[in-house]
């Protein structure tokens, strides 16, 4: 990673992350992504360019990534141990992708980069290799991928903090009260998938290490928006997904310290993870497992998915995070100012209006069920957003404070009849978002709140859909 990117990679605190990019930084142009020319029909007639504002779920693939994959596809071959030219070429490409990802994450020389299926798979892998007796500390604000994998460990769930300083203090108190001996792990997000707010990762890492614990960073929402440096953040592991980093296909990454990974049994048993297998006289088998990243990459790997991640890492690095962050700041300000001008809209936040954040904003609208509002944005304006609890149920329920939403004309409540329905709307965007998409979204919110939906909707199999 270059010196300039290292400068912007200093996430020493949530405040310093945002301040790393000067206000006068030159904004980048939107990066070219697939689907930018797709048009969709409107229920009111005609067609409109599709506005993909659901980046936090899956970002559209960069055109550069798709072109790289298409150029490689004719040379596709099985990796490792193949004697053929295409197999050798694919093996070199696969292992070079590992180097590219390590550079993108500013890994330490001793760190391992393991390719997985997703952030969820990465964190489940780490959970599977925890030493016996490991204590895990995780905030209730985490995405389910970070909240749920630790079933066999002793887990302490921490209450949602209301400031970055409170997050650090809460963790320090919990770690100080833990048993003084034995392994411990802290799991924390870099940027919330609900509020977009940046977390004080470096301070949390310092607190963890001061109390003899390790820390893993869920960077699924952070890595597409800001540079992530294992060295600068001083985290032990980082996990992220390709499909949120503008790469197609199902691949993810777990990168960081090798010792727990090398000492544990393979995450999956099979070819590729095994170095030597021999029958014993008693009829069983003896297995010698790899001690490299291959130990946890059993089976034939997703070569194209891995290459697409590496391509996305190169594309973002070459585009320059400074300009990308500066432009995203402008989009965030435009959305937040637009929503602030609608009294019926309440934006959800843990750390307050001034907290630095990425392009992820969740909100509720008085008088509307969130499913109804999202359906109207799609059917009448061609805008894709997300509604629900965003695989972060405890956090959204905390932010909504148990307040019921009005059902409006149509709703998809999770609650049973007579119980409260809690859900929200999430708009998210990034390096490929045109200004027009954000402008259309703000205009659509104002019109829907002021004038109501132009079409009739009904609930069908738990979703709000336009009446045909």
How does DSSP classify residue 389? Answer: -
Helices 435-451 and 321-340: crossing angle in degrees, nearest 10, is 10
Is residue 55 helix, strand or coil?
coil
344, 408 contact by CB (below 8 A):
no
d(CA 212, CA 430): 37
**Sequence-ordered alpha helix ranges (H) in 246-385:** 259-263, 303-319, 321-340, 370-381
d(CA 53, CA 436): 11
d(CA 174, CA 158): 8
d(CA 89, CA 91): 5
Catalytic residue among 313, 391, 410, 464: 391
d(CA 425, CA 335): 13
Which pair of structure tokens corresponds to residue 165?
């300083």
Tokens 């301070």 found at: 203
Cα dihedral 348, 58, 328, 204, rounded to 10, equals 60
Q: Is 27 a catalytic residue?
A: no
List the catalytic residues. Answer: 391
């Amino acid at each position: 990673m270059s010196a300039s990117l290292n400068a912007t990679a200093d996430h020493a605190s949530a405040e310093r992350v945002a301040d790393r990019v000067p206000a006068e930084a030159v904004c980048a142009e939107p990066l070219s992504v697939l689907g930018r020319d797709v048009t969709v029909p409107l229920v009111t007639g005609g067609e409109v360019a599709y506005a993909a504002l659901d980046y936090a779920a899956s970002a559209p693939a960069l055109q550069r990534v798709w072109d790289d994959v298409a150029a490689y596809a004719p040379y596709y071959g099985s990796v490792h141990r193949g004697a053929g030219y295409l197999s050798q070429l694919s093996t070199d490409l696969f292992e070079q992708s590992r180097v590219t990802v390590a550079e993108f994450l500013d890994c330490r020389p001793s760190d391992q980069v393991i390719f997985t299926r997703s952030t969820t798979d990465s964190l489940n892998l780490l959970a599977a290799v925890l030493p016996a007796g490991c204590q895990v500390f995780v905030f209730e604000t985490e995405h389910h991928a970070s909240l749920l994998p630790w079933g066999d460990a002793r887990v302490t769930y921490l209450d949602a903090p209301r400031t970055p300083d409170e997050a650090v203090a809460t963790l320090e108190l919990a770690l100080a009260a833990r048993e003084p001996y034995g392994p411990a792990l802290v799991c924390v997000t870099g940027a919330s998938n609900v509020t977009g707010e940046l977390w004080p990762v470096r301070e949390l890492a310092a607190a963890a290490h001061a109390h003899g614990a390790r820390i893993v960073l869920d960077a699924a929402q952070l890595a597409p928006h800001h540079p992530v440096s294992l060295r600068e953040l001083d985290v032990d592991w980082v996990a992220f997904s390709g499909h949120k980093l503008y790469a197609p296909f199902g691949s993810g990454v777990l990168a960081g310290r090798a010792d727990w990974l090398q000492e544990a049994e393979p995450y999956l048993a099979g070819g590729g993870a095994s170095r030597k297998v021999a029958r014993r006289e008693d009829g069983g088998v003896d297995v010698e497992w790899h001690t490299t990243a291959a130990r946890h990459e059993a089976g034939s790997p997703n070569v194209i998915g891995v290459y697409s991640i590496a391509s996305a890492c190169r594309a973002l690095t070459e585009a320059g995070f400074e300009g990308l962050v500066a432009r995203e700041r402008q989009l965030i300000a435009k959305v937040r100012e637009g929503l602030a001008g609608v009294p019926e809209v309440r934006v959800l936040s843990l750390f307050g209006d001034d907290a630095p954040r990425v392009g992820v904003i969740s909100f509720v609208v008085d008088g509307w069920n969130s499913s109804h509002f999202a359906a109207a944005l799609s059917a009448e304006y061609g805008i894709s957003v997300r509604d629900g609890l965003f695989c972060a149920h405890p956090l959204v329920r905390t932010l909504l404070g148990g307040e019921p939403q009005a059902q409006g004309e149509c709703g998809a409540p999770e609650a049973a009849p007579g119980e409260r329905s809690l859900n929200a709307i999430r708009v998210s965007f990034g390096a490929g978002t045109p200004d027009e998409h954000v402008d259309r979204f703000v205009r659509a919110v104002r019109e829907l709140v002021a004038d109501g939906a132009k079409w009739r909707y009904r609930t069908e199999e738990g979703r709000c859909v336009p009446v045909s």
